Structure 1
């Protein structure tokens, strides 16, 4: 049976709530420091926090374990690299919160994460619902 509009909308809402908590409430100083380095343990942990939340959302909707594991691995890689790109750009340009470019970089980062969730929900509708 195809996913209902209500289920898709609810899943997107839950992923947004998860994102807000993972990005704004659950980041530790280790996750925030040194983000311009590619192999950064804090960024890896931050991406893992996002994955744990997404796994919970997909499990709540009864997605198959194989689907959840594939989506989780892909989300981790994508999230890690989106955050690295933003950090690298922000460091290179020495961006500060009082600069418009800082907020454009932050906005692009959030847009990329939101588009990731749209793709994840599309994958659930297409392959798992």
Structure 2
């Protein structure tokens, strides 16, 4: 397998593992409560956990520090807003885990995060690999 393909698969896999931990294992009660208001410190902290994970991933991949700084700043903004969109929609519709619409909202949220990692991988290929 060509080296670039192996590196892309490694990068994307590391981002997926980082996402699993940041989204499902490292959330605190503060991050999970009151998510309907736009400026929510818990959401900001949650997006920050993602950023720290991405910094570690891109350092492992040998990306330049300036590239990492720009990329994770954009990731923080995108992640914060994706999560707000899901929280706002879920609150307006009064969704709960027993409803199909709840799981569609979760699925769309996760899909958008994964597409963010596709974009980040593309950026790494074009600007840092």
- TM-score, normalised to structure 2, is 0.97
* 1:4-59 deviation per Cα after TM superposition (whole angstroms, max 9, x unaligned): 10000010000000000000000000000000110100000000000000010001
Instruction: Note the 1:103-114 alignment, pairs <5 A.
Output: 103-114=103-114
Is the Cα–Cα contact under 8 Å of residues 44 and 80 in structure 1 kept in the other structure? Answer: yes
Q: Which runs of 4+ in 1 moved over 3 A?
A: none
Residue ranges of structure 1 left out of the alignment (5+ in a row): none
CA RMSD in angstroms, aligned pairs only: 1.0
Higher RCO (CA 8 Å, separation ≥ 6 residues)? 1
- CA, structure 1 residues 91+128, in 2 after alignment: closer, same or farther (shift >3 Å)? same
Aligned residues: 128
- TM-score, normalised to structure 1, is 0.97
Residue ranges of structure 2 left out of the alignment (5+ in a row): none
* 1:70-120 deviation per Cα after TM superposition (whole angstroms, max 9, x unaligned): 001000000000000000000000001000000000000000000000000
Task: Write the distance in 1 (CA, Å) between the matches of 2:120 and 2:61.
Answer: 13
